[in-house]
């Protein structure tokens, strides 16, 4: 059982004949809501998210989909949601395969469930829980029979005509481009003459909150339902659930019975409306996808519009990669290449080889990272660009790597002092591999900084075929590597460099400080993810790592004794402090800090609910590892005139922190046509949202506020 301030959730089972092939077996999540709080149906309506259940079952047991009980309409201002209040059981049928053969000594089957739900009142709180149940295999489990029986009665029943089992001809005719004329036959006599609620199983089709006309013509129920102004689906078959309209503030058990009908949609769907201000290239791609979804003949990529879309994305990615060289997160890695230039100032062939290898490392790494992101998304994972720095383990590993590089550049140690000569000489014997790996390192730390320059292009990759999407990532990598590649082939650059000499040692040690600055940034990022204890733990481990490196660089007996002591100390530190790095603290402190500055934490549906009250909303999609986000936060978003304008217009301020992985924020970014941060959006009552540029200016923000 999981209990929060808003709900109590419990995993239940019902196996009246035990766990055996051919016998009924039901599992379910029971959610009891606090008064005025609710969770959501399979189609949440104008906002919200449906409850998600992820099962881990013994071999031979297969969980089906949730058998969703009849929901109720929950009006919120000018919006309407579909969900549940009070107590609801979400039952799931489980099939027991004929091959199910537990151990003769096994008495129980272990059932594991990971559930996530969004619970809302005026505010929305995303919650989750992990549940474990020991289900008896042989004996009857009928303790929860009454709850599952009640849930079965709450399931919508198919609409039948008489007793012959024939599903009647129900349909929806598109009229005037913005109405659905619905006609349903064969509803029970008990419903005739009563006002009904209609719950569409397909989301974002009808105007959920609209008042619409309905009438009875004998046994035929008809209605004229407005389409949503932000419609995103064009189904040819539209399943709906019908039930007697419940009172607005009903209390007590829900005694309504729902009936499910499948409407054949006749007529031509109107063109899908654009829901946000997006780049022309992305809008063209979305229209092409919509045409494919509705069965229309979409233009081939060789046509003018599609070719223009891909060409614009490639050019945008190339330009974004070029500008990326000016970002502070990239400079420390470029410092390594500058040291390489000084070491081979007069060797033109070495320059060219290094440039090609570095470019290959950058381009292939961007392609690999893009392919991984696209693959994870195709598998159902909610990830976006820069996802690698959402992992505290990756951030800590990069901090350790940059610490080692800084110590090496500063002269604290040389690889040849404590590594076998065959390993220590790899850089000298394989400069191509060294340059290639430097390119890989550049991508690891630079990719989160790309969103400010190619947010629309990255969002477009989600709508393109995989080969074309990967071409966009390759163009981004080429743009990043292009200045160094060009310098490698231009003799004038090599001639402009000073001749090798004693100054090179001083320059090399100077380059250690950008590396240490990067370590400071990474420790700060980890502090945003794992709290002050996580940042402190990482600092302690970095000190221990430095001690090990220094001890291994000693000579003679001192090395043997100090290395043994330092390695033992490091092992103890790893055991004691690594859990602090991977631990994710609660967000209470961050929430209090945001509230004090006027910002409130973002939650799914929060912006829409505030807009429904007539108040505009400004959402800042940000992350601690996003350098541009932090720059905008300290400059434009802290400007006194901007803050005064926001207060004058009574704009609600929401901050969506993507520092740690958050599937809900990832989904919101995807809906806006973006894959990374920063993203800045104004939501206005009765108007589509406005997406600002990633590099904010005071004039742009104030001009947008003036139009609210």
> Per the domain annotation, does 104 fall within a domain?
yes
pLDDT at residue number 539: 93
Cα–Cα distance for residue pair 627/631, rounded to 1 Å = 6
Domain with 495, as residue range(s), is 304-582
pTM: 0.44
Q: How many CB atoms lie within 10 A of CB 328?
A: 13
565 and 606 co-located in one domain: no
pLDDT at residue number 178: 81
343 and 479 co-located in one domain: yes
Q: Of 266, 281, 296, which one is at a domain's C-terminal end?
A: 266
> Per the domain annotation, does 271 fall within a domain?
no
Angle between helices 640-648 and 698-706 (to 10 degrees): 10
> Per the domain annotation, does 292 fall within a domain?
no
Residue 175 belongs to domain with CATH number: 2.60.40
105 and 187 co-located in one domain: no
Residue 664 belongs to domain with CATH number: 3.40.30.10
109 and 27 co-located in one domain: yes
53 and 110 co-located in one domain: yes
> Per the domain annotation, does 635 fall within a domain?
yes
Residues in the chain: 708
177 and 259 co-located in one domain: yes
337-343 CB contacts, 8 Å cutoff, 24+ apart: 337/435, 337/438, 337/484, 338/511, 339/409, 339/507, 339/508, 339/511, 340/435, 340/438, 341/487, 341/493, 341/494, 341/497, 342/497, 342/498, 342/500, 342/504, 342/507, 342/508, 343/500, 343/504
Beta bridge mates, 127: 117
**In the chain, which stretches have pLDDT less than 50?**
161-167, 273-308, 420-428, 453, 586-596
pLDDT at residue number 680: 93
566 and 546 co-located in one domain: yes
Q: Of 582, 613, 640, which one is at a domain's C-terminal end?
A: 582
354 and 489 co-located in one domain: yes
**In terms of Cα–Cα distance, which of 408, 366, 407, 410 is closest to 388?**
366
367 and 435 co-located in one domain: yes
To the nearest 10°, the Cα dihedral for 519, 525, 530, 531?
100
To the nearest 10°, the Cα dihedral for 460, 461, 466, 470?
130
pLDDT at residue number 619: 95
239 and 308 co-located in one domain: no
378 and 260 co-located in one domain: no
CA separation, residue 98 to residues 59, 70, 101, 157 (Å): 11, 33, 8, 29
Encoded tokens for 296 = 């229309």
**In terms of Cα–Cα distance, which of 482, 465, 477 is closest to 310?**
465
pLDDT at residue number 293: 36
Q: Where are the beta strands (DSSP E) in 171-314?
A: 171-175, 179-184, 196-200, 213-217, 220-226, 237-244, 259-266
> Per the domain annotation, does 279 fall within a domain?
no
Peptide bond into 175 cis (omega under 30): no
604 and 702 co-located in one domain: yes
Number of domains in the chain: 4
With b for 16 or more beta-carbon neighbours within 10 A and e for fewer, the 611-625 pattern comes to bbeeebbbbbbbbbb
């Amino acid at each position: 059982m999981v209990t929060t301030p808003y709900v109590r959730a419990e995993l239940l089972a019902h196996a009246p004949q035990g766990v055996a092939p051919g016998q009924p077996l039901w599992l379910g999540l029971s959610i009891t809501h606090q008064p005025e709080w609710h969770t959501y149906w399979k189609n949440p309506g104008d906002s919200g998210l449906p409850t998600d259940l992820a099962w881990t079952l013994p071999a031979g047991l297969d969980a089906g989909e949730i058998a969703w009980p009849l929901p109720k309409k929950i009006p919120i201002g000018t919006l309407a949601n579909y969900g549940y209040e009070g107590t609801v059981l979400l039952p799931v049928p489980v099939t027991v395969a004929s091959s199910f053969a537990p151990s003769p000594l096994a008495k129980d089957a272990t059932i594991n469930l990971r559930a996530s739900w969004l619970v809302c009142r005026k505010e929305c709180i995303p919650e989750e829980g992990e549940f474990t149940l020991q289900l008896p295999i042989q004996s009857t489990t009928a303790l929860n029979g009454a709850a599952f029986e009640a849930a079965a009665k709450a399931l919508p029943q198919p609409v039948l005509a008489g007793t012959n089992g024939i599903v009647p001809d129900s349909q929806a005719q598109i009229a005037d481009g913005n109405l659905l004329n619905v006609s349903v036959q064969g509803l029970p006599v008990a419903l005739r003459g009563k006002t009904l609620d209609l719950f569409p199983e397909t989301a974002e089709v009808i105007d959920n909150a609209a008042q619409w006309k309905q009438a009875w013509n004998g046994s035929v129920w008809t209605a004229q339902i407005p389409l949503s102004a932000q419609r995103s689906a064009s189904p040819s078959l539209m399943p709906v659930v019908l039930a007697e309209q419940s009172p607005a503030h009903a209390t007590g058990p829900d005694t309504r019975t729902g009936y499910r009908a499948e409407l054949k949609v006749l007529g031509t769907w109107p063109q899908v409306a654009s829901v946000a201000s997006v780049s022309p290239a992305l809008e063209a791609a979305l229209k092409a996808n919509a045409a494919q979804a509705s069965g229309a003949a979409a233009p081939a990529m060789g046509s003018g519009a599609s070719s223009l879309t891909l060409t614009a994305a490639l050019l945008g990615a190339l330009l974004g990669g070029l500008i990326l060289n000016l970002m502070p997160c990239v400079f420390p890695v470029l410092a390594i290449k500058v040291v390489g230039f000084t070491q081979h100032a007069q060797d033109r062939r070495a320059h060219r080889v290094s440039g090609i290898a570095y470019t290959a490392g950058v381009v292939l790494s961007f392609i690999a990272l893009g392919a991984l992101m696209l693959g994870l998304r195709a598998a159902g994972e909610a990830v976006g660009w820069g996802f690698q720095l959402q992992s505290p383990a990756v951030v800590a590993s990069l901090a350790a790597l940059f610490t080692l590089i800084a110590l090496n550049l500063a002269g604290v140690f040389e690889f040849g002092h404590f590594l076998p000569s065959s390993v220590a000489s790899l850089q000298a014997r394989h400069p191509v591999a060294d340059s290639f790996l430097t390119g890989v390192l550049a991508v690891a730390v630079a990719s989160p900084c790309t969103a400010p320059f190619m947010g629309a292009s990255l969002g477009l990759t989600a709508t393109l075929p995989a080969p074309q999407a990967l071409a966009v990532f390759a163009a981004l990598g080429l743009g990043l590597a292009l200045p160094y590649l060009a310098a490698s082939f231009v003799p004038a650059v090599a001639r402009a460099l000073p001749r090798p000499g004693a100054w090179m040692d001083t320059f090399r040690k100077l380059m250690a400080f950008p590396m240490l600055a990067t370590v400071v940034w990474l420790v700060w990022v980890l502090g945003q993810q794992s709290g002050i204890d996580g940042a402190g733990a990482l600092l302690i481990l970095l000190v221990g790592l430095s001690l090990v490196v220094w001890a291994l660089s000693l000579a003679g007996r001192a090395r043997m004794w100090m290395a043994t002591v330092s390695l033992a100390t490091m092992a103890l530190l790893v055991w004691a402090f690594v859990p602090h790095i991977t631990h994710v603290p609660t967000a209470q402190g961050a929430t209090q800090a945001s509230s004090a500055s006027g910002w409130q934490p973002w939650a799914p549906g929060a912006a829409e609910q505030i807009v429904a009250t007539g108040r505009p909303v400004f959402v800042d999609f940000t992350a601690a590892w996003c350098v541009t986000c932090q720059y905008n936060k300290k400059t434009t978003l802290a400007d006194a005139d901007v803050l005064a304008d926001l207060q004058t217009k009574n704009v609600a301020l929401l901050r969506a922190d993507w520092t740690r992985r958050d599937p809900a924020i990832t989904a919101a970014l995807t809906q806006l046509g973006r894959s990374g941060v920063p993203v800045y959006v104004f939501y206005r009552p009765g108007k589509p949202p406005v997406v600002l540029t990633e590099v904010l200016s005071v004039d742009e923000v104030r001009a947008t506020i003036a139009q609210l």
